[in-house]
């Protein structure tokens, strides 16, 4: 999957829909969290940093992680060009390599979770990384019929998420859901016409 995103990295920011999506997620996060610019955040699956860019003035520091070298390379170029001092990109797979535990106030991820085969494992890792009462913000696909990735023959992830099923997984890993909203729709041209895919944001608190 990393090679797929490596190939797309240089053109990633040229898609206005991706930028608009990031702005809407950031707006939801800021409205709920009301960041005080003193907190430490982590973005999981940061890509070129579109979401964190919208939040760069809201957190003291942001660790941005991804498994795609192409995406991280583009992100580093942007950081250098714009002199963003509080961004700290890491080419890392959190499923395989640990970061310091109880270290983050907020973790957020956008359109990445459905690519992760072992969702319970990554939720457990998120819980270990967050401080007590820390917040996890997940923005992703609502459960769909599998057509969203119809053009990607090697896709092995999830066809979005059902609210109740994901909530149960989160609760089993020490979280309580505090907010849920459908914030956006992606339109795709398919063989039988235009299909719309709703996207959700879910914000959860670490309680154990």
Q: What is the pLDDT of residues 46-89, one digit of tens each?
A: 999 999 999 999 999 999 999 999 999 999 999 999 999 999 99
Residue located via tokens 């459960």: 143
Encode pLDDT of 102-111 as tens digits: 999 999 999 9
pLDDT > 90 fraction of the chain, expressed in percent and rounded: 81
Mean pLDDT of 109-126: 97
Q: Are 42 and 61 in contact (CB under 8 A)?
A: no
Q: Report the relative pairing of strands 40-44 and 175-190 from DSSP bridges.
A: unpaired
CA–CA dist 21, 23 (Å, integer): 5
DSSP, collapsed to helix, strand or coil, labels residue 56 as coil
Query: At the fourth CATH level, which superfamily is domain 2-206?
Result: Vaccinia Virus protein VP39 (3.40.50.150)
Residue located via tokens 């795709």: 188
Encode pLDDT of 140-184 as tens digits: 999 999 899 877 777 889 999 999 999 999 999 999 999 999 999
Confidence of residue 14 (pLDDT cuts 50, 70, 90): confident
Question: Closest by alpha carbon to 181, among 25, 35, 10, 63?
Answer: 25
């Amino acid at each position: 999957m990393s090679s797929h995103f490596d190939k797309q990295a240089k053109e990633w920011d040229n898609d206005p829909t991706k930028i608009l999506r990031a702005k809407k997620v950031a707006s939801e996060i800021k409205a709920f969290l009301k960041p005080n610019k003193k907190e430490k955040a982590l973005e999981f699956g940061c890509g070129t940093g579109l979401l964190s860019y919208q939040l760069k003035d809201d957190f003291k520091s942001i660790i941005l992680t991804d498994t795609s070298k192409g995406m991280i390379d583009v992100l580093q170029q942007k950081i250098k060009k714009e002199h963003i001092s509080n961004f700290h990109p890491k080419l890392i797979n959190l499923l395989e390599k640990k970061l310091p535990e109880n270290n983050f106030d907020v973790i957020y991820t956008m359109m990445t979770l459905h690519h992760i085969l072992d969702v319970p494992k990554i939720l457990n890792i998120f819980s270990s990384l967050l401080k007590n009462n820390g917040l996890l913000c997940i923005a992703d696909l609502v459960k769909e019929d599998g057509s969203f990735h119809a053009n990607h023959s090697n896709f092995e992830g999830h066809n979005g998420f059902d609210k109740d099923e994901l909530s149960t997984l989160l609760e089993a890993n020490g979280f309580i859901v505090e907010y849920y909203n459908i914030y956006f729709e992606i339109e795709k041209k398919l063989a039988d016409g235009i299909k719309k895919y709703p996207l959700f944001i879910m914000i959860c608190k670490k309680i154990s």
